[in-house]
Chain A
Amino acid sequence: MTEPQGTIQLPPQLSTIAPEVDAMYYAIYWISVAFAVAIFVAMGIFLYQYRRQPGRKAKPTGHNTFLEVFWTFTPLLLLLWLFVEGFEGYVKMSVAPEDSVEIRVRGMQWNWEFEHQGGVIDDLNRMKVPVDTPVKLVMSSSDVLHSFFVPGFRVKRDVVPGMYTSLWFEATTPTPFTSETECQSDNDCGSGYHCGQPREIPNGMNADELLMGGAPPEGAPEGTREVRYCSVSVFCTEYCGAPEGITLSAFSEGGYNSNHATMMADLRVLPVEGYDRFLEVGPPPPPECAGAEDVNVCWGQSIYQGSGCIGCHGNDGVRQQPAPNWVGLWGAVRPFTDGSERVADENYIRQSVLQPQSQIVAGYAAVNMPVYRFSDRQLDAVIAYIRSLTPDE
């Protein structure tokens, strides 16, 4: 496969619009260089030629209306051309083709959520798109301004609370998740890419084979390994803050999605058949749960750790703040701040996840818990995990 290469100035071209944007970029770049060189050279010559010398006086400034008019109005033509070309490119970027595949994007502090056709919601901050297919993103935010930016695609659009914005692109280069694209650090991936968040893969396989429903080869050792793959970078470019007074771990230590600077998603461009299969099966239970005693409990625990529940909810029966500990939660009577109460059952947990502000347990502040839109299967897994934390009596 021939990877598109980036240049000193620009990341590799990974979408159909990228070459067009880059052509304009280089046009204005060379025009600027020409102007700058002309101005600097003229200036240098004059500065040297007319440096102060004994006995030589400056000549009084005359008029040259032609020159004045010339350099006032000639650049206008050039600027007009730049405007028209730039606008043409922009129109192309603004109008998505009729047959685009639609993906809903939801921004929240500091995660990206992607919902595909058929209601398939991927794991947070993981984005899959088909190659050589126009993809239209319909985006909204549940808190503050965000902005969806993929440097490799040359697309960017603000994600605004209270309204929908959209953008489209057509990816041209697949992002294989094979042994060749495994990485240790961002430096292994080059510009336009980053080394994605670790994922658990059964030994002897890669993520591509796993997606296509393959099985580990004969003789592969039992268990899973943690792998990181080079993924296309998705950044948030509209400033959205950081939690107050918390030391955050760096990218290099896996500290993703904890503040504005790390609000990234791993974008993976799939062959069309791979994307179709993904839509069919949805996000599967993580592979390490394949042999687990209870797949749902294992999956729920994985969500608990991977989606950030662990940040506020303890699972040790000890830590009670800033949010209720999950041990002993199941089946307990929950008193609310408004004086009412309810038994913690499936529906209680479901509502707490989907509408966290709707029922605040007495003794807790209404912290700004992100609204997770888990699929039913993911919700089942979370419920199963919470249930497993309370021993049956």
Chain B
Amino acid sequence: MAVEAGTAAPAAVENDESNYLTAKSGLKSWALTVDHKRIGVMYLVSVIVAMFLGGIMALLVRAELMFAGETLMEADTYNQLFTLHGAIMVFLFIIPSIPAALGNFFLPIMLGAKDVAFPKLNLGSFYIYVIGTVFTLIAIVAGRIDTGWTFYTPYSSRADNAVIWMTLGVFILGFSSILTGLNFIATTHKMRAPGLSWTRLPLFVWGIYATSVIQVLATPVLAITLLLLIMEKTLTIGIFDPALGGDPVLFQHFFWFYSHPAVYIMILPGMAVINEVIATFSRRKIFGYMFVAMSSVALALLGFLVWGHHMFTSGMSEYSTMIFSALTFLVAIPSGVKVFNWVATLYQGSISFETPMLYAIGFLILFTIGGLTGLFLGILSVDIHLHDTYFVVAHFHYVMVGGTVFGFLSGMHYWWPKMTGKLYNEGLARVAFGLIFLGFNITFLSQFIMGSQGMPRRYYDYLDQFQPLHMTSSGGAFVLGFGFLVLAVVFIQSMISGAKAPANPWGSAGFEWMTTTPPHAHNFETTPVITRGPYDYHLASEEELFDGFPEDRAAQGAKA
């Protein structure tokens, strides 16, 4: 059914529901839509704008650091820039990127559902996200926020009052995150198509589901923490500021109790995308499906128990330090399991190397490096030396950018034809990948060495001996930035003049490819009945798989 609908020319009639993009028109049809796909697209546009802003700030930071001393800006300006880079990238880009944008679009389709469980709530979360963003932007414009994205007390207790606006913005963003998570959990439990058992659930759904659990459980703690901070600043109630009788280390506990699970809010969706891409481009079910699914759940749960590893030098007791270190090593297990299983999936596959797969391979390499360097930081005696140096900066960029952003880009390329109905220029997209991969490694490999040599983070100025490494890192950042520019050209060109995409260009067995391209306003014309798993290539019909590549079908036919 899906195949035929996909090839049929969309009729230009009023209220044609076969294409969600053209089903209704006008600004209002977007602003008040309850269609999860349109909401997903609106999130996508927002997070891309946020990433662009955060990226500009990163480049300015790196430009300042090319040379020791003051080159472009004052120390104060620099401090504000890296603060905003962190806050924007974390709260406005990475956290909503995959779950809220791609998840919103594809989770219901993968479940064979018409929409999420609570469509109006879904629209509500988007507007809460917008309000939170507005508050954050007000803070940026109105004042001077130089606390770092962690808002550590008592520095933030005494800082400019714009911090209140910023934390209020993040507080509001948190509710968007909670409601989206709630919606996804309900949708996954209640809206699965007939035949879609938990063991047939696409791993993308498993990943987003685990993420949603964390969002619902952890984000309230961030809200409480930020509210306490706001109360301290406005009512001078002593909670974190020792000058008022508070405890600054308490803030760190509260903050990381959310922000460490948040690391998994960021990385699990990246892993979720990679599952889909590797399966599709290897034509194979992910090896150890249940282990991979459960490792997401395990990460979600273990992620709550390791917040203290951000605080080994903070003056916390030695016993707490010991326990947090031990638990931290446990987190390495599920991550390792995933990597091993992904590599094993390639074995005996039939692998092709289109752009989404290139990003997935990039992800495997960078996430492995990011994960292994995490072990350095879990070892107590070594962490003491490396804590708060560039080694940590490099480590979490390998995980957050090499992991999440590569996962996001992989998903963007993979689902772009489905979302927009258009193909992009494959050659140019590969060039962009090459630049981004190369630029990223130059930028952050040099930071590992800087860090282990003792270069502390958040430094505006530095000793001469670090100059060559800083210069290398900045050079890499510009290559990375240029790569993103090429990427923008790829997508803009596709939107303007891209060729029409077939329903299933990659020949995937995934459920989301079984509908038309772009999808029907209600996802499917009739509720699909699931008779196989999303990666069961040996059970899928040739028509399902090879609809997108006529030449392949011809080759198959000729062989037969």
Contact = CB atoms under 8 A, between A and B. Distances in A.
Interface string A146-187: 010101101111101111010000000000000000000111
Interface in A244-258: 244-253, 255, 258
A42 B342 CA distance: 11
B79 A242 contact: yes
Interface in B150-205: 152, 154-155, 158-159
Interface string A116-138: 00000000000000000000000
B389 to A, nearest CB: 7
A9 interface: yes
B426 interface: no
Interface in A210-239: 233, 235-239
A43 B278 CA distance: 12
A56 B537 CA distance: 13
Contact of B285 (A31, A60, A192): A60
A87 B380 contact: yes
B560 to A, nearest CB: 10
B348 A43 contact: no
A50 B76 contact: no
A393 B380 CA distance: 66
A190 B465 contact: yes
B157 to A, nearest CB: 9
B74 to A, nearest CB: 6
Given A86-B379, A94-B318, A246 B464 contact: no
A236 B79 CA distance: 15
A29 B148 CA distance: 30
Contact of B388 (A50, A91, A238, A255): A238
Interface string A49-79: 0111111111111001001100110011001
A239 B346 contact: no
Given A46-B347, A58-B350, A75-B332, A151 B462 contact: no
B388 A237 contact: yes
Contact of B350 (A50, A144, A191): A50
Contacts of B378: 82-83, 86
Contact of B462 (A6, A61, A162, A251): A251
Contacts of B78: 242
B458 A162 contact: no
A336 interface: no
B348 to A, nearest CB: 4
Given A10-B452, A28-B379, A58 B463 contact: no
A79 B329 contact: yes
A151 B361 contact: no
Contacts of A233: 454, 463
B314 interface: yes
B461 A21 contact: no
A87 B274 CA distance: 35
Contacts of A389: none
A46 B349 CA distance: 8
Contact of B68 (A25, A235, A252): A252
Interface string A22-58: 0011001101100110011011001100111111111
Place the interface of chain A in its size category. 35 or more
Contact of B69 (A58, A76, A246, A253): A253
Interface in A88-129: 88-94
Most buried by B among A8, A161, A239, A244: A239
Contacts of A240: 155
B155 to A, nearest CB: 4
Interface string B338-359: 0111011111111111000000
A235 B313 CA distance: 14
Given A56-B350, A61-B345, A160-B249, A36 B454 contact: no
A243 interface: yes
B391 to A, nearest CB: 10
B301 interface: no
A260 B83 CA distance: 14
Interface stretch (B261-269, B369-377, B477-485): B369-377
A239 B148 contact: yes
B276 interface: no
A316 interface: no
B458 A239 contact: yes
Contacts of A94: 318
Nearest to A248: B75
Given A160-B314, A239-B148, A154 B385 contact: yes
Contacts of A52: 283, 350-352
Most buried by A among B337, B461, B555: B461
A42 B314 contact: no
Nearest to A236: B456
Contacts of B373: 32
A251 B248 contact: no
A43 B353 CA distance: 13
A24 B382 contact: yes
A138 B146 CA distance: 29
B324 to A, nearest CB: 11
Contacts of B537: 57-58, 60
B134 interface: no
Contacts of B462: 251, 261
A243 to B, nearest CB: 7
Interface stretch (B32-40, B105-113, B286-294, B511-519): B286-294
B74 A191 contact: no
B535 interface: yes
Given A32-B373, A58-B349, A86-B325, A39 B339 contact: yes
A191 B466 CA distance: 9
17 contacts: A9-B449, A17-B381, A61-B535, A64-B288, A76-B333, A82-B379, A83-B329, A86-B381, A87-B381, A186-B463, A191-B454, A244-B76, A247-B74, A248-B75, A251-B461, A252-B69, A261-B459
Interface of A: 6, 8-11, 17, 20-21, 24-25, 28-29, 31-32, 35-36, 39-40, 42-43, 46-47, 50-61, 64, 67-68, 71-72, 75-76, 79-80, 82-83, 85-94, 143-145, 147, 149, 151-152, 154-158, 160-163, 165, 185-187, 189-192, 194, 233, 235-253, 255, 258-262
Given A47-B361, A237-B389, A260-B79, 19 more contacts: A24-B382, A43-B364, A55-B559, A58-B350, A82-B329, A83-B325, A85-B381, A86-B379, A147-B313, A151-B385, A154-B384, A189-B465, A191-B453, A237-B456, A239-B457, A243-B75, A244-B76, A260-B460, A261-B461
